[in-house]
């Protein structure tokens, strides 16, 4: 059983890998034997996580990178020697607003990181996987790609693009043994959520946390570790027959939120 979902000696690249869902993925992948390359704009957070993982005997490296800058992504990918077996496209930002109050600056920022950033990583890594005989890609999407969420116009646009890119990569690279799937979480309890509540609902943090938690039919937010466990499965050999699929992890939000 200890070999189940093993990533032993596989090289994984995790964008946004030092906070929230990305941090949980980096930690779990390292624990399951992967050599983890953490791609982060927050250099200090990445360095701290790498130090923690190495102290526990795991293999990890930190790379400062703005995923929206193609040259930076290319440089980081070139710096990773050998195979890149796994790419987890997790880096992304959120935005609150409808089409009327979403400025062009807001829209372009969301697009630059959530869409262009993912394209940049795919553009750099897929040829490496193709040349080395295959690989696995997991893109972090959102239920916002599948359902209408209030005041999430630009964010939903970007996650719709994530879903489309996932399907395109899965189809185009079937002959090259590259699998590509996406994960679409509902609300996940990360430091971002706590910061969002504190900023927008000062003095009502507990009340708003409970309200947001209960918006999931299951009655709570997801934990980052739960999303990481799904990512581990999809990147493991046990999921070798799975490609071109989006996996909602939503506490019943899509199907049961009538």
Domain with CATH 3.40.50.720 in the chain: 11-186+223-246
Residue 20: the pLDDT is 95
Please report, in tens digits, the pLDDT of each residue of the chain (258 residues total): 578 999 999 999 999 999 999 999 999 999 999 999 999 999 999 999 999 999 999 999 999 999 999 999 999 999 999 999 999 999 999 998 999 999 999 999 999 999 999 999 999 999 999 999 999 999 999 999 999 888 899 999 999 999 999 999 999 999 999 999 999 999 999 988 888 889 878 999 999 999 989 989 999 999 999 999 999 999 999 999 999 999 999 999 999 976
SS3 state at 38: strand
Euclidean distance between CA atoms 140 and 11, whole angstroms: 19
Residue 206: the pLDDT is 92
Marked catalytic residue, from 58, 155, 173, 247: 155
Protein fold of 11-186+223-246? Rossmann fold (3.40.50)
Query: Which residue do the tokens 């359902």 mark?
Result: 147
* Helix extents (H) in the chain: 20-31, 43-55, 70-79, 104-110, 117-132, 153-172, 191-200, 205-214, 224-235, 253-256
Q: Tell me, rounded to whole angstroms, the distance of Cα 252 from its chain centroid.
A: 20
Residue 1: the pLDDT is 57
Residue 257: the pLDDT is 78
Residue 258: the pLDDT is 61
Active site residue 247: no
Tokens (6 digits) for 56: 């526990």
């Amino acid at each position: 059983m200890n070999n189940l979902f093993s990533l032993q000696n596989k090289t994984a690249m995790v964008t946004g890998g030092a906070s929230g869902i990305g941090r949980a993925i980096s930690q779990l992948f390292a624990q399951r034997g992967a050599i983890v390359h953490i791609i982060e704009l927050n250099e200090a957070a990445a360095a701290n996580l790498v130090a923690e993982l190495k102290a526990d005997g795991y293999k990890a490296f930190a790379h400062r990178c703005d995923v929206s800058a193609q040259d930076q992504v290319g440089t980081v990918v070139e710096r990773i020697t050998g195979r890149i077996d796994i790419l987890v496209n997790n880096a992304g930002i959120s935005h609150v607003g409808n089409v009327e109050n979403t400025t062009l600056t807001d829209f372009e920022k969301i697009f630059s990181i959530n869409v262009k950033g993912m394209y940049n990583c795919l553009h750099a890594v897929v040829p490496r996987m193709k040349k080395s005989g295959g690989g696995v890609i997991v893109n972090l999407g959102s239920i916002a790609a599948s359902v209408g969420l209030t005041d999430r116009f630009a964010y939903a646009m970007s996650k719709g693009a994530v879903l489309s890119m996932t399907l395109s990569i899965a189809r185009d690279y079937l002959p090259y043994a590259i699998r590509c799937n996406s994960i679409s979480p509902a609300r996940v309890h990360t430091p971002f959520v706590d910061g969002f509540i504190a900023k927008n609902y000062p003095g009502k943090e507990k009340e708003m946390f409970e309200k947001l938690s209960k918006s999931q039919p299951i009655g709570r937010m997801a934990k980052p570790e739960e999303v990481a466990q799904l990512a581990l499965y999809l990147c493991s050999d046990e999921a070798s027959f799975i490609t071109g699929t989006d996996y909602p992890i939503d506490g019943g939000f899509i199907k049961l939120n009538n």
